[in-house]
Structure 1
Amino acid sequence: MRKLFRLAGILTVTGALAACSGEKTTANYHTIPIPQEIKITSEGEFVLNSGTKIIYPDGNEKMRRNAMFLAEYLKKATGTDYDIATGTDGKGNILLQLGHPAENPEAYRLNVTQEGVTISGTSEAGVFYGVQTLRKSIPVVHKSTPVLAAVEINDYPRFGYRGVHFDISRHFFTVEEAKSYIDMMTLHNMNRLHWHLTDDQGWRMEIKKHPLLTQIGSTRKETVIGRNSGEYDGKPYGGFYTQEDIKEVVAYAAERYITVIPEIDLPGHMQAALAAYPHLGCTGGPYEVWTQWGVSDNVLCAGNDSVLTFIDDILTEVMGLFPSEYIHIGGDECPKTRWEECPKCQARIKELGIKGNDRHSKEEYLQSYVINHAEKFLNDHGRQIIGWDEILEGGLAPNATVMSWRGEGGGIEAARQNHDVIMTPNTYLYFDYYQTKDIENEPLGIGGYIPLERVYGYDPMPSILTPEQQKHIVGVQANHWSEYIPTFSHLQYMALPRWSALAEIQWSEPEKKNYEDFLSRLLQMMKLYDAEGYNYATHVFDVKADFIPNPATGTVDAVTKTIDRAPIHYTLDGSVPTTESPVADSIVAIRENCTFNALAIRPTGKSRLLTEKIIFSKSTSKPITANQPVNKQYEFNGITTLTDGLKGNGNYKTGRWIGFYRNDMDVTIDLLEPTEISNLTFTTCVEKGDWIFDARSVTVEVSEDGENYTEIVSESSPAMKETDRNGLYEHAYSFNPVKTRFVRVIAASEKSIPEWHGGKGHPGFLFVDEITID
Structure 2
Amino acid sequence: MDTSHLVRRCALASLLLATPLAGMAAAPATPLAASAAASMEGVASGARLQMRWELLRNEYTPQMPEGRAKARMTLTNNDSQRLPAKGWTLYFNSMDGVVPGAVTGNLRMEQVAGNLYRLRPQANFAGLAPGQSLDIDYYHPQVIIKMARAPIGPYLVYDAQPEVGVAISDFALLPVTRPEQLDKGDTGARPVVTAADTYRSNQRADLLPASAVPLVLPTPLQLTQGSGKLRLSGKPSVSAPAALAGEADLARSLFPASLQGSGPALRLSVGKVEGQSSPEAYSLTVRAGGGAGAGIAIVGNSPAGVAYGLQTLRDLLPLPGAADQSVPEVTIVDAPRFAYRGFMLDVSRNFHTKETVFKWLDLMARYKMNKFHFHLTEDEGWRLEIAGLPELTSIGAVRGHSAKPGVRLQPAYGSGPDPRDTGGSGYYTRAEYIEILRYAAARHIEVIPELEMPGHARAAVQAMEARYHRLKAAGDKDAAKYLLNDFADRSVYKSPQLYNDHVLNPGLESSFTFVQHVVDEVVKLHREAGAPLHTIHMGGDELPNGAWEQSPASRAMMAREHLQSTADLWDYFYERVDGMLRKHGLYTSGWEELAARKTTLHGKNKLIPNPRFTQKGFLAWVWNNTEGAEDLAYRLANAGYDIVLAPVTKMYMDMAHNANPEEPGVNWGDYVELETPYDFIPFDYLKNATEAARVGKDGLTDYGKRRVRGLEATLFTETVRDPARIDYLVMPRLLAVAERAWAPDPAWATEPDAAKAAALHRTAWSGFVNALGQRVLPRLDLDRTGVAYRIAPPGLLLDGDKVLVNHVLPGIALRYTVDGSTPTASSRRVTGPIAERGLIQVAAFDRNGRPGLVARIDRR
The bucket for the TM-score relative to the shorter chain is 0.5 to 0.7
Q: CA deviation at 1:256?
A: 0.5
1:256-405 mapped onto 2 (5 Å cutoff):
256-278=443-465, 279-283=483-487, 296-322=500-526, 323-355=532-564, 362-394=565-597, 395=610, 397=613, 398-405=616-623
Residues 280, 336 of structure 2: 8 Å contact kept: yes
Instruction: Tell me which moved more, 473-482 or 510-519.
Output: 510-519
1:110 aligns with 2:361: no
Instruction: Tell me which moved more, 46-55 or 268-277.
Output: 46-55
Change in 2 beyond 3 A, CA 1:544/1:410: farther
Per-residue Cα deviation, 1:374-431 (whole angstroms, up to 9, x for no partner): 1122123210111101113443532211100012533212211211110001001110
Q: Secondary structure at the match of 1:157?
A: coil
Structure 2 distance, partners of 1:204, 1:65, is 30
Structure 2 distance, partners of 1:93, 1:26, is 26
Q: 2:217 aligns with which of 15, 19, 32?
A: 32
Q: 2:237 aligns with which of 40, 49, 53?
A: 53
Q: CA deviation at 1:454?
A: 1.0
Residues 225, 233 of structure 1: 8 Å contact kept: yes
Counterpart in 1 of 2:390? Answer: 211
Structure 1 distance, partners of 2:435, 2:845, is 46
1:702-741 mapped onto 2 (5 Å cutoff):
none
Structure 2 distance, partners of 1:601, 1:491, is 20
Letter in 2 for 1:108: Y
Counterpart in 1 of 2:378? Answer: 199
Per-residue Cα deviation, 1:235-284 (whole angstroms, up to 9, x for no partner): 55321111111111101100100000000011111111111212321227
Counterpart in 1 of 2:469? Answer: none
Change in 2 beyond 3 A, CA 1:506/1:390: same
Counterpart in 2 of 1:3? Answer: 3
Structure 1 distance, partners of 2:844, 2:463, is 57
Residues 286, 296 of structure 2: 8 Å contact kept: yes
Q: 1:528 aligns with which of 752, 764, 779?
A: 779
Residues 200, 272 of structure 1: 8 Å contact kept: yes
The answer for unaligned runs of 5 or more in structure 2 is: 6-209, 289-293, 402-408, 466-482, 527-531, 598-609, 686-698, 748-760, 799-803
Change in 2 beyond 3 A, CA 1:167/1:344: same
Change in 2 beyond 3 A, CA 1:342/1:136: same
Q: 1:64 aligns with which of 245, 249, 256?
A: 245
Counterpart in 1 of 2:735? Answer: 500
Q: Secondary structure at the match of 1:440?
A: coil
Q: CA deviation at 1:306?
A: 1.2
Residues 169, 199 of structure 1: 8 Å contact kept: yes
Q: CA deviation at 1:333?
A: 1.2
Residues 423, 477 of structure 1: 8 Å contact kept: yes
Residues 27, 139 of structure 1: 8 Å contact kept: no
Residues 26, 148 of structure 1: 8 Å contact kept: no
Q: CA deviation at 1:449?
A: 1.7
Structure 2 distance, partners of 1:341, 1:488, is 42
Q: CA deviation at 1:608?
A: 4.5
Change in 2 beyond 3 A, CA 1:193/1:569: closer
1:44 aligns with 2:228: yes
TM-score using structure 2 length: 0.58
Q: CA deviation at 1:462?
A: 3.3
Residues 282, 306 of structure 2: 8 Å contact kept: yes
Per-residue Cα deviation, 1:691-741 (whole angstroms, up to 9, x for no partner): xxxxxxxxxxxxxxxxxxxxxxxxxxxxxxxxxxxxxxxxxxxxxxxxxxx
Letter in 2 for 1:32: L
Structure 1 distance, partners of 2:814, 2:389, is 61
Q: 2:269 aligns with which of 77, 93, 97?
A: 97
Residues 106, 121 of structure 1: 8 Å contact kept: yes
Residues 71, 81 of structure 1: 8 Å contact kept: no
The answer for unaligned runs of 5 or more in structure 1 is: 6-24, 84-90, 356-361, 547-557, 586-595, 614-774
Change in 2 beyond 3 A, CA 1:226/1:329: closer
Change in 2 beyond 3 A, CA 1:297/1:67: same
1:543 aligns with 2:795: yes
Change in 2 beyond 3 A, CA 1:565/1:178: closer
Structure 1 distance, partners of 2:308, 2:813, is 38
Change in 2 beyond 3 A, CA 1:607/1:253: closer
Letter in 2 for 1:35: P
Per-residue Cα deviation, 1:177-215 (whole angstroms, up to 9, x for no partner): 211111111111110000011111111111112222112
Counterpart in 1 of 2:31? Answer: none
Q: CA deviation at 1:335?
A: 2.3
Q: Secondary structure at the match of 1:302?
A: coil
Letter in 1 for 2:622: S
Counterpart in 1 of 2:118? Answer: none
Change in 2 beyond 3 A, CA 1:306/1:81: farther
Q: CA deviation at 1:541?
A: 5.4
Q: CA deviation at 1:224?
A: 8.0
1:164 aligns with 2:343: yes
Q: 2:721 aligns with which of 486, 511, 521?
A: 486
Counterpart in 2 of 1:74? Answer: 255
Counterpart in 2 of 1:510? Answer: 745
Total equivalences in the alignment: 548
Structure 1 distance, partners of 2:709, 2:393, is 35
Q: CA deviation at 1:297?
A: 3.9
Q: CA deviation at 1:506?
A: 0.8
Structure 2 distance, partners of 1:600, 1:197, is 37
Q: CA deviation at 1:607?
A: 7.1
Letter in 2 for 1:36: L
Letter in 2 for 1:333: E
Letter in 2 for 1:103: S
Change in 2 beyond 3 A, CA 1:220/1:543: same
Change in 2 beyond 3 A, CA 1:566/1:186: closer
Change in 2 beyond 3 A, CA 1:525/1:439: farther
Structure 2 distance, partners of 1:498, 1:69, is 25
Counterpart in 2 of 1:122? Answer: 301
Counterpart in 2 of 1:18? Answer: none
Letter in 1 for 2:642: D
Q: Secondary structure at the match of 2:651?
A: coil
Residues 112, 148 of structure 1: 8 Å contact kept: yes
Q: CA deviation at 1:478?
A: 0.8
Residues 200, 296 of structure 1: 8 Å contact kept: no
Question: What is the RMSD of the two structures over their aligned residues, measured on CA atoms?
Answer: 4.1
Instruction: Tell me which moved more, 457-466 or 604-613.
Output: 604-613
Q: Secondary structure at the match of 1:521?
A: helix
Structure 1 distance, partners of 2:633, 2:265, is 47
1:320-719 mapped onto 2 (5 Å cutoff):
320-322=524-526, 323-355=532-564, 362-394=565-597, 395=610, 397=613, 398-407=616-625, 409-440=631-662, 442=664, 448-462=670-684, 464-511=699-746, 514-523=764-773, 524-530=775-781, 531-540=783-792, 542-543=794-795, 562-564=808-810, 608=853, 610=855
Structure 2 distance, partners of 1:338, 1:66, is 50
